Amino acid sequence: MNFAENVETREAVIVTGGRLGAWALEEIRAGDYLIGADSGAEFLVRHGIAPDLALGDFDSVPADRLTSISAASKDYLAVDPVDKDWTDTELALREALDRGYSRIRILGGLGSRFDHSLANVHLLRQAFERGGEAVLIDEHNEIRLCADACRMNQDPRYPYVSLLPLTPVVTGVNLTGFRYPLNEATLTLGWSLGVSNVLDAPSGTVSIREGQVLVIRSRD
């Protein structure tokens, strides 16, 4: 494949080894560049979907499944499970960015391992610093990073919107279109101001003067 082809319009989707289900299949769109990371690749192949790239140490995949994953994937990259510095999800994110994809959706990045879940949330910052935008999606949440300003449309799937600082202090926070507006507010790491707001207008904006916030859209 020519990795430069259509990367400005195509999105990369990373399916990784956290909590997955039928909801994840519904998030995959025609034309997405699909990366299966570790057991995320096995999930795709098991559901009849060929990854554009399967990568990872595959320590979470039964050995008898590796051949079928390799055969079904358009590209296959196995790494040593000991001699590596990054998680499989970070390897996948770096690969997507290196191949020119600036819009990336991560499915299965949240699960029972809180350390991995939190590390994957922090990957949103790496994508931002490299000029991209990544979003973490699971069955109940959509998590993205906002620095400067972001706009969102009302989505009945996610009635709640929370803002949590990713930097120690976030200043000049302004919300429009929300039930509980903020005007030049300050959000501080370790405090819960910004949790569980509601977007009442058809669309709303979050703007900040300095810092970075996580915008978390959720449902119960």
Residue 5 placed within a domain: no
- And the tokens for 119? 């590390």
Residues 62 and 169 placed together within one structural domain of the fold: no
- How high is the pLDDT of residue 1? 32
Tell me the CATH number at 103.
3.40.50.10240
**Angle in degrees, 0-180, between the axes of helices 88-98 and 114-129, rounded to the nearest 10:** 20
Residues 107 and 200 placed together within one structural domain of the fold: no
For 92, which DSSP code?
H
Contact present, 7 and 31 (Cβ < 8 Å): no
The three-point CA angle 169-150-168 to 5° equals 10
- How high is the pLDDT of residue 61? 83
pTM for the model stands at 0.91
Give the Cβ contact number of residue 49 at 10 Å: 15
Write out pLDDT tens, residues 205-217. Answer: 999 999 999 999 9
Residues of the chain with pLDDT under 70: 1-9, 81-83
- How high is the pLDDT of residue 82? 60
Tell me the CATH number at 165.
2.60.120.320
- And the tokens for 137? 């999606």
Residues 132 and 170 placed together within one structural domain of the fold: no
Residues 34 and 120 placed together within one structural domain of the fold: yes
Residues 99 and 66 placed together within one structural domain of the fold: yes
Residues 129 and 202 placed together within one structural domain of the fold: no
139, 161, 178 — which closes off a domain? 139
139, 159, 178 — which closes off a domain? 139
Owning domain of residue 92: 12-139
- Which ranges in the chain belong to alpha helices (H)? 22-26, 39-46, 66-72, 88-98, 114-129
Domain count, the chain: 2
Residues 119 and 24 placed together within one structural domain of the fold: yes
Residue type, 205: T
139, 170, 202 — which closes off a domain? 139
